[in-house]
Structure 1
Amino acid sequence: MTYYAARSLTMKKRYLGMQTLSVVGGLTVPRLVNLHYPWIPPVVTVISLMVAACVTLENLFRFREQWRASRSTEQLLRYEKVSFLTRTGPYEVMDDQVAFRQLVTRTEAAIATENATTLKIITAAQHTGEPEPPKVAR
């Protein structure tokens, strides 16, 4: 749970940071363009490149989707822990040994699902409409 909570927080910070930089940069450029100082063109260029980089990196790494997947897994693991410790939900009528095996099975399934989801998010981001290169027969 600690890992997924920390990962979720990291992805959330990255997502919100990228979005903040994109919005502030996007709002700053039109204002700066209307000013007439010799230093304006290079500043506008740098800010525009920063905005483009933020949007591209967000599309590449999908921080929002990773944040949501990690947060969801952390909440599911927390639910499983509380249910196990209080012997409620799926653990209600089980003895200790059976309940523990069920806890391990369910938490490992949740972790495997999150790993598959993250891989799918990252893989989908890398295949944003670009055609696959032709396979060469050997």
Structure 2
Amino acid sequence: MEHTSAAPVVRPARPEDLPRLVELMREHMVYERSAPRPAGLADRLGAQLFADGARLWVLLAETPRGEVAGYAACSAEFSFWEARHYLHMDCLYLAEEARGHGLGAALMDGVAALARTLGLGHVEWQTPDWNEGAIRFYDRLGATGKPKVRYALPVE
């Protein structure tokens, strides 16, 4: 019998986590209706994430049984108007069956702790405007949204 009262575990990703992380990323891409990415994602990501001096961090959430069920991916960014760095959370995703058990809140606590450890004063992220569940979750945490439109310009 699984003990559901165990506290969620949030930990930094390790190189051996890359296959599971990429599985979760692919689920996330489908969930957000994004185009699939080219082959070799694990190799490209691992080379960046685990390089000496990398300014990228991935935190993983584990179920009480030790299964990796979600991730938060972050990097340090610079706010020109604030003239200081902040932590940008590029992605937060939980496998569907892992939602509603405190793993998302544990990941957000881990992200906030990472920002504090790095000496960064705040965290920023975005979510699709149609993702009402995520918006309710972030609102419950006390986060505030800013209406903007995100653009991307291919230059290759």
Q: TM-score, normalised by structure 2?
A: 0.21
Instruction: Judging by fraction of residues, say which structure has more helix.
Output: 1
Instruction: Judging by fraction of residues, say which structure has more strand.
Output: 2
Q: TM-score, normalised by structure 1?
A: 0.23
Structure label with greater radius of gyration: 1
Q: Higher RCO, 1 or 2 (CA under 8 Å, sep at least 6)?
A: 1
